[in-house]
Amino acid sequence: MRLSKSMLVTNILLISIAGSGQGRITWMKDGTSYTKVEGGEIVKYSLPANTRTVMIAKNKLVPAGQTSSIAIRSYSFSADGKKALLYTNAKKVWRLDTRGDYWVLDLSDNS
């Protein structure tokens, strides 16, 4: 599928607006979609229609024995897209936030 110049400019503008003030976006390997954290969930936007899909719902991020979900600081997906590495509870060490908790979420069974 080829995008016209006007569609490409429109999509870049939409991404810029969507990304401003809401945290960073992460491009997916397919090159036609991106993800970002919104309201404590990881949401995927597929272009060019900008279709929104919740990839990881907030209720899937509640650790056993707790009542609230973890606050996602950053995340990445495995090469096969079946697992997500979630970084939370960031603490500064010297000048950088390098200490924190890492969680692995298996997307196939939500464990």
How do 51-56 and 74-77 pair as beta strands?
unpaired
pTM above 0.85, yes or no: no
What is the residue-level pLDDT of the chain in tens, covering all 111 positions? 555 555 545 555 444 444 433 468 899 988 899 999 999 999 999 999 999 999 999 999 998 888 999 999 999 999 888 999 999 988 888 888 778 899 999 999 988
Is residue 35 exposed (0-12), middle (13-18) or buried (19+ Cβ within 10 Å)?
A: buried
Domain boundaries along the sequence of the chain:
5-106
Cβ-based burial of 88 (10 A; exposed 0-12, middle 13-18, buried ≥19): middle
